[in-house]
Amino acid sequence: QQPVQSPQAVILREGEDAVINCSSSKALYSVHWYRQKHGEAPVFLMILLKGGEQKGHEKISASFNEKKQQSSLYLTASQLSYSGTYFCGTDPYNFNKFYFGSGTKLNVKP
Amino acid sequence: NAGVMQNPRHLVRRRGQEARLRCSPMKGHSHVYWYRQLPEEGLKFMVYLQKENIIDESGMPKERFSAEFPKEGPSILRIQQVVRGDSAAYFCASSPRGTMNTEAFFGQGTRLTVV
């Protein structure tokens, strides 16, 4: 039920790009991406729906490959504010609840 | 429109006591989710509720844990006879229609410490 995220951790310099992957063993109806900073609540980034197109949020975008049951989050020209832990959430049974991956810790350094 | 409100933010309980965690969803949101997060780990689904109904509690431990979302008032996550292993951050999230095709908004969490 729980999606698998990779990599577990990424260290970047400001301005570099990163890709975070999320895969599921179950068919997916939607994928959610959240970012959580230490000690804070997860903050919604975007949702990708089955049959929908790639989404974007400033320099953060994501894709959803339904056949491969995968989603990828793309962070372009990373900024210090991008640091945090990124979680994907999937709704594998179309039951209006979602399960989170274990997270990818992103550290952007000056 | 205030966000999802959780209280208390921090809660310390001795082993064997009861912990009551409250979550007030955003206005107009009738779907509430509870998640548990251990340090440096992901968010583990616990329970999904709609007003007056438990939709899915498959992530809840069978004993000592219960949740409710009454017609009036906040959602309550109750942990009886707490043990050290219950120490964690508990987050609730709310959404207007269920998370299938809409985002969920998270509260700031309640950090439970069992001593």
The pLDDT tens digits of the residues spanning A62-79 come to: 988 888 889 999 999 999
Kindly determine whether residue B107 and residue A41, on different chains, have CB atoms separated by under 8 Å: yes
Whether A104 has a pLDDT exceeding 90, the answer reads: yes
What integer is the mean pLDDT of B70-89? 96
- The reported pLDDT for the residue numbered A29 is 79
Q: With 0-12 CB in 10 A as exposed, 13-18 as middle and 19+ as buried, what is A24?
A: buried
Residues 18-77 of A with CB under 8 A from B: 29-30, 32, 34, 40-44, 47, 49
What integer is the mean pLDDT of A16-44? 90
CA B74, chain centre distance (Å): 10
Whether A91 has a pLDDT exceeding 70, the answer reads: yes
- The reported pLDDT for the residue numbered B16 is 98
Question: What are the beta bridge partners of residue A5?
Answer: A22
Question: What are the beta bridge partners of residue B77?
Answer: B21, B67
Question: What are the beta bridge partners of residue B112?
Answer: B11, B88
Whether B1 has a pLDDT exceeding 60, the answer reads: no
Give the three-class secondary structure for B37: strand
Minimum-distance CB partner of B98 among A96, A99, A103 = A96
Instruction: Select the more confidently predicted residue: B105 or A92.
Output: B105
Kindly determine whether residue A96 and residue B105, on different chains, have CB atoms separated by under 8 Å: no
The structure tokens listed for B21 are: 């965690």
User: Comparing C-alpha atoms, which of A5, A43, A90, A84 is closest to residue B109?
Assistant: A43
What integer is the mean pLDDT of B101-110? 87
How many CB pairs lie under 8 A apart between chains A and B?
64
- The reported pLDDT for the residue numbered B95 is 87
Backbone angles phi, psi at B14, to 5 degrees: -85, 155
Whether A22 has a pLDDT exceeding 90, the answer reads: yes
Q: Which residue has the tokens 């409100």?
A: B5
Residues of B in contact with A9 (CB under 8 A): none
Question: What are the beta bridge partners of residue B3?
Answer: none
Give chain A's mean pLDDT.
87
Pairing of strands B75-79, B19-24: antiparallel
Whether B60 has a pLDDT exceeding 70, the answer reads: yes
Whether A20 has a pLDDT exceeding 70, the answer reads: yes
- The reported pLDDT for the residue numbered A35 is 95
- The reported pLDDT for the residue numbered B87 is 96
In tens, the pLDDT along B10-52 reads 999 999 999 999 999 999 898 999 999 998 888 998 999 998 8
In A, minimum Cα distance to B36 occurs at A100
Whether A94 has a pLDDT exceeding 80, the answer reads: no
Backbone angles phi, psi at A102, to 5 degrees: -80, -5
Cα–Cα distance for residue pair A98/A102, rounded to 1 Å: 13
- The reported pLDDT for the residue numbered B22 is 98
Question: What are the beta bridge partners of residue A65?
Answer: A70
Q: With contact defined as beta carbons under 8 Å apart, do B34 and B77 qualify? A: yes
Give chain B's mean pLDDT.
92
The structure tokens listed for B114 are: 């069992």
Whether A85 has a pLDDT exceeding 60, the answer reads: yes
The structure tokens listed for A51 are: 């049959």
Share above pLDDT 70 across residues of chain B, in percent, rounded to a whole number: 96
